[in-house]
Structure 1
Amino acid sequence: MRKSNQHPGIPAPGTGKRGEEGYLGYLLRQAAGAYRHRVERTLADLGVTPPQFATLTMVAAYPGLSNADIARLAMLTPQTVSVIVANLERSGSLVRKPHAVHGRILQLELSDSGQALLKTCRGRVHAIEKEVTEGLSPEEERIVRRWLVSVATAGGADKD
């Protein structure tokens, strides 16, 4: 029998203050942490971290981004993005190409292997998202998505 290091008075996720009666901010953090953990586990054998996945996704979605743009979009620090970009370049997933008009400006793009890696990652993460939304009607999913966007944009949070 495996011993738990958890204090006996701490409720399991979904119960007590970790359940529906808990503080909303804590519940959001708990859900985000559980989701991130699932993504970490599903991408681990590919050698891709969730921040690397976010970076690959942003570069594919918005060509020509700077590291600072990626940091804002992926909610990472510029220093973290610099390390991630360097590692993804070293692995051959990202390449820097001269801007079509301003040749001295280098833009990040996914290499062919980076595109293939992102496609594999997306498939795995999409499966997690499908599990997360299982049991929700399309209308309920739209409501949850709308609510999450409203939480993220309340008070001009993205204007920093």
Structure 2
Amino acid sequence: MKKILLSVLTLATLSTASASEKFGAYLLGVQYQRDTNDTDAVRYGLGVPLAGFFDGGGAVALSGDVSFLRHTAAATETVQPYYGAGLGLSAVLGAGSGASVGAVGLYPNVLAGANFNVTDQFSLFAEGSVGPVVAFAYATDGQNSASGADVGLGYGLRLGVNYKFR
């Protein structure tokens, strides 16, 4: 997944040099956004929403997403609302006391948010998303194992800062 995400980021960086580009950080992650025209943008995100180590084990979660954004106001406005759709992928791995667990989740979603332009280059943003989550999980304790799949409703909140470098 990392190789695919890095390959996509590299290809996006090499194409159309005249497009506006932003690099941002949000709570527990980073993102890269590239404007495709005056109203549309494609964003790639990578996050670490959970990491913990405890006596005899630990857990880590990784997430990545690709989103298409449509802005409803010009980039020069103080507040720039947007809406769009995205696809997220998450993985969780954990182990401790002889047991281990792994899970993968797929999160297609719709989203809405706003950029709050502080200067020409810096902006704050807030965004919410909602959509179904399809999850697959596996657990074992060395003697017994179990696996399963489930579908549920997921939601997300992203708060952060963007820096426009082009």
TM-score by length of 2: 0.24
Normalized per residue, which structure has more helix?
1
Q: Which one has a bigger Cα radius of gyration?
A: 1
Normalized per residue, which structure has more strand?
2
TM-score by length of 1: 0.24
